[in-house]
Structure 1
Amino acid sequence: MFQSNNVIMHNYLCRKWFLLLLFVVYRKLDPVEGLKCYCDTTGPSCQNETCETDGFCFASTTLKDGVEKYEYRCWEQESVFPPGDWPIWCQKGDVFCCSTDLCNRSDEPDTTPTAAAWQVVPWIIGLMVLGICAAISFWWAKRSRKMLKRGLGSRPLFPAEDSLCEPRHPILGTATIRDMIELTTSGSGSGLPLLVQRSIARQIQLVDIIGKGRFGEVWRGRWRGENVAVKIFSSREECSWFREAEIYQTVMLRHENILGFIAADNKDNGTWTQLWLITDYHENGSLFDFLTARTIDSATLVKMALSVATGLAHLHMDIVGTKGKPAIAHRDLKSKNILVKSNLTCVIGDLGLAVRHNVSSDSVDVPSTNRVGTKRYMAPEVLDETMDTRQFDPYKRSDVYSFGLVVWEMARRCGALPDEYQPPYHDCVPPDPALEDMRRVVCLERRRPSVPNRWHSDPILSSISKVMKECWYQNPAARLTALRIKKTLANIGAGDLGKM
């Protein structure tokens, strides 16, 4: 892309210089006002057989009834065609044009058009300059294609299997999505170019539906043999779609524990407009689905919890620099918004409610959407509305509280005698709790999910339970930071697991 931009700029400069050269030639050919010509008519414009013009003198020869007839006139500049150039009629054999005083006076005018050497040379030079510019542009374009081809390997730029009706983009070729992300973003995670995003979106085939939510549906799609996840928002959720796509394209956001963003596009299916968000596909589904169907061992528990904490720490961290990353808080962290990769580590997804910290103004960029977080995972200060929404740190502490509940869900499914999967506070509130239910249990009664006795006899579960309890303190300031959680879980993995 960078190379093609250089070609465009180079062509633009060539055209600019050529137009400047044409302007200079035009100024040289532009006759001086007040040119005197011989005329053979009567009237105010021809007195004493002389007329004045800002254009040309001309003489013409016509044959009428076998007799040659001569005419001598002034030719005004406004009547000249093409404007500013040698008149097209002067190129005919029966018309003579000239641009010096009384140059058209002759008993038998020479009707052969003449041009001085200085009038021809600039045009020859102009054509040479244009030819050189065209040759350089062709060489530069060829060189750019070779460099791009080296970046993508030895793949053809336009594969034969593509339909002629499909949108084309040179960078697509037969490259994988991972190739394109690495080539165009240089690992910055700021998102693919919009044209590439649209090209990918228009070539995806939806295969089967894999989930539904309040925003819309999630489908498994196929793009050139690769599985992708397509989140289709309903039209009333446009703000959520736009916000999530905007957050995913934050510079330096791309991380192995953040769901990989591929593209966003709006597609008209003939009845309504679909809003697509295309991400990496993970066949294990959400952490909620995974824990509902499967149990885990101690090593997997630590690996999963550590990967979620690592992703959360990356979100919460601000990277200072000219192209730095702002700190981001998730605001809706739960097991349904965490996906399980094939290696059983996790990635955090669904950033539609995320907020960003603006360091320069110390303000919080809050999305303009009516959606709120999931009540079951809301921190006490969110439930009782005592959180200072003008500051950014309270949002991070709220995320940490939600993370503690997610770890509790994972820990229940671990061990020799794992418990049946249950969501947090399953024994305290209805399946779809209201705000009042959660406020009563979490804020007034200050209850937290119960810790089974069997955890105390297991060194891993015992260590994990200490971490989760430090995540859900009633006082937000007393909770661990995501970075501290990450380091603690890494020590648990290196220490307690190493002894087993």
Structure 2
Amino acid sequence: MDNPMLRLFFFCMLILCIWQCAEGLQCIECQYCNRPGGAPNTTCYTAKGYCMSIIVRDKEKDKNGLRISNKEVIRINRQCLHKKEFILEGRALMCHVSELMKDQQNVRCCKDQDFCNSVVPELRPLKSEEGGKQSSGSDISPMEMVVVIALPIMALVVITIVAVYAYCYCRRRPRPYAPPPDQNVDTNPLMGSQPSSLKELYDWSQSGSGSGLPLLVQRTIARQIRLCEIIGKGRYGEVWRGNWRGENVAVKIFPSREERSWYREAEIYQTVMLRHENILGFIAADNKDNGTWTQLWLITDYYENGSLFDYLNRQTISPTSMIRLAHTAAGGMAHLHMEILGAQGKPAIAHRDLKSKNILVKNNGTCCIADLGLAVGHNSKTDKVDIANSNRVGTKRYMAPECLDGSINMEHFESFKRADVYSFGLVLWEIARRCSVGGIFEEFQLPYYDVVPSDPSLEDMRKIVCGDKQRPAIPNRWQNIESLRVMARLMKECWYSNSAARLTALRIRKTLAGLADQEDLKI
């Protein structure tokens, strides 16, 4: 070692080896290790990424993924999360779980030290378990013991590596990375059997928590979609018709600056037990990065009839169709507003932007409610309203009087439900105008079309609705037709200036159901 050149060589090797050893984060990788026949524990590496551990409360299933009993099984998965899987720089979608879902699944991401994903996040107790036994003991698990023993040894190896040039050479060889998350949906172990249609996907997701597909499966599906044509464009993005395995889907594309709106809508759609025939079916949320900008995708069911606004613009409807549209739209609103109690319950949700453009028409002439980006949830235990942190506001033309004059009580959840009912009354008015009886009908118009500009300001609407207390005009001919007379009475009872006097969503749905029975209508 007396040769200065030799000492310099070994010093450079030391710096190189320490840099190589520090550039990557070591994680425990045991994907699906608690499944029968799962892979043994291994190690994976990630640079500028995270170690991730996932815990899921599930039902006991056979090797094909089919549920065989109601016995609960806790599944744990550990893996690396690489930087390329982030939604935006420094933010990984897969590291975030809605508060409403943490009794069914939870995720922990970390990068403070190697093997930090040995710690598994906790599941929030189910309602039926609250007040029961608490987890006992603070014993150190075998995995934690391994980590405690391994860390000093690894530090010693890094210090003494100065004379081990061969070891540094071996470190240059490719590392055993974890399988990429965008594996084919057919071979994804989370999927069990191989779904070939959207219906099978929905049936599979409802066998678990009822809160939508797992995030890894959502990303797999999203990356198999081919965009076909643009079908809509609004203030917050575009809507495309896409194709997945021969089936049409709708892809709502948000620009990266609208990340909050995209994230919020995806979070609401994945609320436990939200899926309903009169709520737009949610499929997946994912990001697409082409190297220049990031697109945020929200993938849902596709209906070729488009929105109720488009549908009523194109054609008139019969009294039977009018009742079917109104009754099913009311059913979607009632399901949103309703709280479902129990371990697999659903919080009450208010839409906050109900209008004909946010209601879609299915092929069978029924409606489903879409665009939940402004929706708010209600925690009945704490009586708190979960309001999104967003600058978005509802559509001014459809705002209730208390929203226009600022008198709405933001701390009281019932206030938001009553504002929804006011907006729904305006939608009923739009539907009824297009009802053709004896060849007589009205042209399609938006509410207050005759007293405010096409793009009214808050001041315009406040003057008409709050100051002058005007409401859309009811044609005289409606009083001579039973179905239209009932619709007129309903919408008037939705428009009261006193929000407490308005009908509830459930009352509206029941009244329209009775009207459907009179018409011998099967919905």
User: Normalised by the shorter chain, which TM-score bucket?
Assistant: 0.5 to 0.7
In the alignment, does 2:401 pair up with 1:380?
yes
**Counterpart code for 1:318:** E
- The Cα shift of 1:469 comes to 0.5
- Match of residue 463 from structure 2: 440
- The Cα shift of 1:166 comes to 6.6
- Match of residue 329 from structure 1: 350
In the alignment, does 2:338 pair up with 1:317?
yes
Change (3 A) 1:203 1:317: same
Change (3 A) 1:166 1:325: closer
- The one-character-per-residue Cα deviations of 1:111-170 (angstroms, maximum 9, x if unpaired) are xxxxxxxxxxxxxxxxxxxxxxxxxxxxxxxx95445599xxxxxxxxxxxxx9973133
- Match of residue 428 from structure 1: 451
Q: Which aligned pairs between 1:98-497 and structure 2 lie closer than 5 A?
A: 144-146=62-64, 167-169=183-185, 170=187, 171=191, 173-186=194-207, 189-416=210-437, 417-495=440-518
- On the 8 A contact 1:257/1:311 being kept in 2, the answer is yes
What secondary structure does 1:265 align onto?
A: strand
Pair member with larger Rg: 1
Change (3 A) 1:9 1:167: closer
- The one-character-per-residue Cα deviations of 1:215-265 (angstroms, maximum 9, x if unpaired) are 110000000100000000011111000000000000000000000000000
Q: Runs (4+) of structure 1 moved beyond 3 Å? A: 4-12, 143-150
- The one-character-per-residue Cα deviations of 1:457-478 (angstroms, maximum 9, x if unpaired) are 1111011100110011110000
Change (3 A) 1:15 1:353: closer
Give the superposed CA RMSD. 2.4
- The Cα shift of 1:178 comes to 1.6
- The Cα shift of 1:189 comes to 3.6
- The one-character-per-residue Cα deviations of 1:300-340 (angstroms, maximum 9, x if unpaired) are 11111000111100000001112210000000000000000
The CA distance in 2 between the partners of 1:230 and 1:181, in whole Å, is: 17
- The one-character-per-residue Cα deviations of 1:351-376 (angstroms, maximum 9, x if unpaired) are 00000001111010000110000000
What secondary structure does 1:351 align onto?
A: coil
What secondary structure does 2:202 align onto?
A: helix
The CA distance in 2 between the partners of 1:370 and 1:256, in whole Å, is: 30
What secondary structure does 1:228 align onto?
A: strand
The CA distance in 2 between the partners of 1:497 and 1:461, in whole Å, is: 16
The CA distance in 2 between the partners of 1:15 and 1:441, in whole Å, is: 68
- The Cα shift of 1:199 comes to 0.5
- The one-character-per-residue Cα deviations of 1:288-311 (angstroms, maximum 9, x if unpaired) are 000000110000111110001111
Structure 2, unaligned runs of 5 or more:
1-30, 43-60, 69-179
Change (3 A) 1:148 1:189: closer
- On the 8 A contact 1:188/1:254 being kept in 2, the answer is no
The CA distance in 2 between the partners of 1:212 and 1:190, in whole Å, is: 28
Change (3 A) 1:15 1:222: closer
What secondary structure does 1:364 align onto?
A: strand
- On the 8 A contact 1:166/1:203 being kept in 2, the answer is no
The CA distance in 2 between the partners of 1:149 and 1:322, in whole Å, is: 18
- The Cα shift of 1:415 comes to 2.1
- On the 8 A contact 1:205/1:221 being kept in 2, the answer is yes
- The one-character-per-residue Cα deviations of 1:59-86 (angstroms, maximum 9, x if unpaired) are xxxxxxxxxxxxxxxxxxxxxxxxxxxx
The CA distance in 2 between the partners of 1:441 and 1:470, in whole Å, is: 18
- Match of residue 120 from structure 2: none
**Counterpart code for 1:494:** D
What secondary structure does 2:473 align onto?
A: coil
- On the 8 A contact 1:302/1:493 being kept in 2, the answer is yes
The CA distance in 1 between the partners of 2:65 and 2:372, in whole Å, is: 36
- The Cα shift of 1:15 comes to 7.7
Change (3 A) 1:391 1:239: same
- Match of residue 12 from structure 2: none
What secondary structure does 2:241 align onto?
A: strand
- On the 8 A contact 2:205/2:211 being kept in 1, the answer is no
The CA distance in 2 between the partners of 1:272 and 1:326, in whole Å, is: 36
- The Cα shift of 1:185 comes to 2.9
The CA distance in 2 between the partners of 1:15 and 1:288, in whole Å, is: 55
- Match of residue 99 from structure 1: none
The CA distance in 2 between the partners of 1:308 and 1:478, in whole Å, is: 21
**Counterpart code for 1:402:** S
The CA distance in 2 between the partners of 1:189 and 1:7, in whole Å, is: 22
The CA distance in 2 between the partners of 1:330 and 1:251, in whole Å, is: 16
When normalised by structure 2's length, the TM-score is: 0.65
Change (3 A) 1:457 1:497: farther
Change (3 A) 1:296 1:335: same
The CA distance in 2 between the partners of 1:402 and 1:6, in whole Å, is: 51
The CA distance in 1 between the partners of 2:359 and 2:305, in whole Å, is: 11
The CA distance in 2 between the partners of 1:218 and 1:335, in whole Å, is: 16
- On the 8 A contact 2:181/2:216 being kept in 1, the answer is no
The CA distance in 2 between the partners of 1:253 and 1:424, in whole Å, is: 29
Change (3 A) 1:444 1:211: same
What secondary structure does 1:278 align onto?
A: strand
The CA distance in 1 between the partners of 2:321 and 2:243, in whole Å, is: 30
Q: Percent identity?
A: 61
The CA distance in 1 between the partners of 2:515 and 2:41, in whole Å, is: 66
- The Cα shift of 1:8 comes to 3.8
**Counterpart code for 2:401:** P
Change (3 A) 1:342 1:275: same
The CA distance in 1 between the partners of 2:333 and 2:458, in whole Å, is: 25
The CA distance in 1 between the partners of 2:194 and 2:181, in whole Å, is: 15
